[in-house]
Amino acid sequence: MKNKRSLGSLGEKKALEYLKGLGYDILAVNFYSQRGEIDIIAEDNGVLSFIEVKTRTSKRFGAPEESISYRKKERIVRTALYYLNAKGWPRLSCRFDVLTVNIDPKTGDARFNLTKDAFQLEGDTYKYVG
């Protein structure tokens, strides 16, 4: 891969194809607000899912999901709350998923690992607890 940005873009493209194949309804891609960014927002069997996509070509620097810091999770939660309030859905049930994409640099083949409910909010206070 040329750089992290092109690898990330390829990973997100493959992630979208994978999620669509699982029956997810994609609502937004790369949703930005002043609070942060969410890679993919989708509906899975009636559940709103905020999905962080992590792409790697090797485990040289650890597993992709290990690179999601506490601070990154907080930004995702704040951005999700902004999205819910902007849509008028402040109490809608949702979950936070992590989708890792491991791309073989020689073949371009991808392996996926989807972790549903990778981290959560706490009750009605919408506090990050993960």
Q: What is the mean pLDDT of the chain?
A: 83
pLDDT exceeds 50 at position 124: no
Digit-coded pLDDT (tens) for 89-101: 877 778 999 999 9
CB atoms within 10 A of CB 106: 7
Q: What is the pTM of this model?
A: 0.84
- State pLDDT tens for residues 21-35: 999 999 999 999 988
Which domains, from first to last, does the chain contain? 4-121 (3.40.1350.10)
Residue environment code for 42-79, b if the CB has 16+ CB neighbours within 10 A, otherwise e: bebeeebbbbbbbbbeeeeeeebeeebeeeebbbbbbb
